[in-house]
Amino acid sequence: MSVLIKNGTIVNSSDLYRGDVYIESDKVTTIGTNLTMAADVTIDAAGRYVLPGGIDVHTHLDMPFGGSTSADDFATGTTAAAFGGTTSIVDFAIQYRGQTLQQALDTWRAKAEGKAVIDYGFHMIITELTDEVENEMDSMVEQGVTSFKLFMAYPGVFMLDDASIFRAMLRTGKNGGTICMHAENGGVIDVLVKKALAEGKTAPKYHALTRPARAEGEATHRAIALAEMADVPVYIVHLSAAEALAMVTEARDRGLPAYAETCPQYLFLSYDNYEEPGFEGAKYVMSPPLRPKETQDQLWRGLAGNDLQAISTDHCPFCMKEQKALGHGDFSKIPNGAPGIETRMALVYDGGVRQGRISLNRWVELTSASPAKIFGLFPRKGTIAPGSDADIVIFNPDRTQTLSVKTLHMNVDYNPYEGRVVQGVSETVLSRGKVVIENDKFVGRRGAGTFLKRDARS
Ligand code: URP
Ligand code: ZN
Ligand code: ZN
């Protein structure tokens, strides 16, 4: 099977030029101008950008959490991702207490196999670090699970103490992996939550008011300090607060291997959303919470200046009916998370590139190349180059779309951006040389996605 994409504007993280892309089987083999080779499929990309497929390194599909399970499984979630121009995800396998890491990996691989329509890898969440589990971390890296997510929040559920965090970091420093950190001070938050509930403060907005930015800043500082002592790269996930960004900036200025992602929700939504009437604020209950509107500009500056290296989604959808509803009368029972896997590329193009906050190249870097580099997927993924996987998005920058639960494909009953008009549509999407979205229609195959064995640091 061969595909020739003609007349598009190819955008990599560091190139921008008119050209044609020739694909044989699952790889890009030739890039040039006026290519004339015969192909089974020819796609005219005139007037379109031709991008490496988006890489979302923070998703939670089919994840049991907060008394419920995230509403997208690997079939619906990856289909929605493909519609939005994302062709690889890195999801999170969870080691529950008493389990081995291998049990967790087997469980999550079984959830994805036969369902995912695009390629997928896993980070490993460690919730209990026994000596056996510590030893097992090396085997995860050998199997291509080259990053470990640790939690400084959610005491009694996911949170690890500092000693366990430090031990996991020391091991990861040696085995070539990377530490991903959920950086919020869980102990402080727990006290604030109990106090708020005792005072009768039960509405969704108290989720945000009991998770101060300072608690994120403190934990980010601690995560970086522990990683520095353990001599391991640390990647702060879902960074939302200016206080946390300042810690990452300070560490990077000192030359430390500290990285961080933010997510579209922190760039386009704000604390004000929690003030929506009735129980509507539950739509935005996520951790860390949405911050004051002024923070958005600080995050955009961090993205432009490379203090933040990636934009992922933290896609973790729960329906308002039946799932978020668990927290009526007690905000602490609202499952944490929101949908976003489908809307990332267009939102960041519209709000970032079109608003002059980041360049076209930086858009591709933040949503594809840079996460691929940090998480051991580059140059297989994250670039259009001879030999790379033919994961390609043909993006129409002139079409607009209205983000709405009625038209998007995520398996959830609301959209946090309902009614927002954005310019830019991922019209045609290829995953390893196969067209999966063709002029806005899904033409892929359930189960076609394969497990991504990621590289360790060399
Ligand atoms: O609220 C969130 N972020 N839900 C998903 C779990 C996590 O901490 O990433
Ligand atoms: Zn987290
Ligand atoms: Zn998450």
Question: Which amino acid residue places its CA nearest to atom 4 of ligand 1?
Answer: 337
Mean pLDDT confidence for 310-316:
99
60 alpha carbon – ligand 1 mean position (Å): 8
Question: Which amino acid residue places its CA nearest to atom 7 of ligand 1?
Answer: 287
Q: Which ligand is nearest to the CA of 265?
A: 1
123 alpha carbon – ligand 1 mean position (Å): 14
Which residues make beta-bridge pairs with 55?
88
Which protein residues touch ligand 1 with a CB less than 6 Å away?
Answer: 60, 182, 238, 286-287, 314, 316, 336-337
Mean pLDDT confidence for 24-39:
98
Of all atoms in ligand 1, which is nearest to the CA of residue 58?
9
Would you say the CATH fold of 53-374 matches that of 2-51+381-442? no
Share of the chain above pLDDT 70, in %: 100
Contact assessment for residue 181 and residue 150, using Cβ atoms and an 8 Å cutoff: yes
Among 357, 347, 369, residue whose Cα is nearest residue 421: 347
Cα–Cα distance for residue pair 306/323, rounded to 1 Å = 37
Cα–Cα distance for residue pair 151/336, rounded to 1 Å = 14
Tell me the CA end-to-end span of the chain in Å, nearest whole number: 34
Of all atoms in ligand 1, which is nearest to the CA of residue 336?
1
Of all atoms in ligand 1, which is nearest to the CA of residue 285?
1
Question: Which amino acid residue places its CA nearest to atom 9 of ligand 1?
Answer: 314
Q: Which ligand is nearest to the CA of 316?
A: 1
Mean pLDDT confidence for 60-81:
97
Cα–Cα distance for residue pair 449/433, rounded to 1 Å = 12
Of all atoms in ligand 1, which is nearest to the CA of residue 153?
8
| pLDDT on residue 140 | 98
Cα–Cα distance for residue pair 80/74, rounded to 1 Å = 10
> What ranges do the domains of the chain cover?
2-51+381-442, 53-374
434 alpha carbon – ligand 3 mean position (Å): 29
Over residues 376-419, the pLDDT tens digits come to: 999 999 999 999 999 999 999 999 999 999 999 999 999 999 99
Of all atoms in ligand 1, which is nearest to the CA of residue 182?
8
Any idea which residue has 């996460």 for tokens? 371
Of all atoms in ligand 1, which is nearest to the CA of residue 151?
8
Residue from 238, 269, 324 whose mutation best tests the ligand 1 pocket (most atoms within 8 A of CB): 238
Strands (E) in 224-337, as ranges, are: 234-236, 258-262, 310-311
335 alpha carbon – ligand 2 mean position (Å): 13
Q: Where are the alpha helices (DSSP H) in 176-291?
A: 186-198, 205-209, 213-230, 242-253, 264-268
CATH superfamily of the 2-51+381-442 domain: Urease, subunit C, domain 1 (2.30.40.10)
Contact assessment for residue 111 and residue 59, using Cβ atoms and an 8 Å cutoff: no
287 alpha carbon – ligand 1 mean position (Å): 5
Residue from 286, 313, 324 whose mutation best tests the ligand 1 pocket (most atoms within 8 A of CB): 286
In this prediction, residue 116 has a pLDDT band, given cuts at 50, 70 and 90, of very high
Of all atoms in ligand 1, which is nearest to the CA of residue 60?
5
Over residues 288-298, the pLDDT tens digits come to: 999 999 999 99
Q: Is the pLDDT of residue 112 over 90?
A: yes
Q: Is the pLDDT of residue 458 over 90?
A: no
| pLDDT on residue 96 | 97
pTM: 0.98
Mean pLDDT confidence for 247-255:
98
Structure tokens at 191: 């006290």
Cα–Cα distance for residue pair 269/274, rounded to 1 Å = 10
Contact assessment for residue 393 and residue 53, using Cβ atoms and an 8 Å cutoff: yes
237 alpha carbon – ligand 2 mean position (Å): 6
Over residues 128-152, the pLDDT tens digits come to: 999 999 999 999 999 999 999 999 9
The overall average pLDDT reported for the chain is 98
Of all atoms in ligand 1, which is nearest to the CA of residue 237?
9
Structure tokens at 46: 């005139």
Q: What is the DSSP letter of 410?
A: S
127 alpha carbon – ligand 1 mean position (Å): 14
Residue from 287, 324, 331 whose mutation best tests the ligand 1 pocket (most atoms within 8 A of CB): 287
336 alpha carbon – ligand 1 mean position (Å): 6
Q: What is the DSSP letter of 118?
A: S
Q: Are strands 49-52 and 16-24 parallel, antiparallel or unpaired?
A: unpaired
| pLDDT on residue 178 | 98
Mean pLDDT confidence for 31-58:
98
Name the CATH architecture for the domain at 53-374. Alpha-Beta Barrel (3.20)
Better-scored residue on pLDDT, 66 or 434: 434
Over residues 166-206, the pLDDT tens digits come to: 999 999 999 999 999 999 999 999 999 999 999 999 999 99
Q: Which ligand is nearest to the CA of 65?
A: 1
314 alpha carbon – ligand 3 mean position (Å): 4
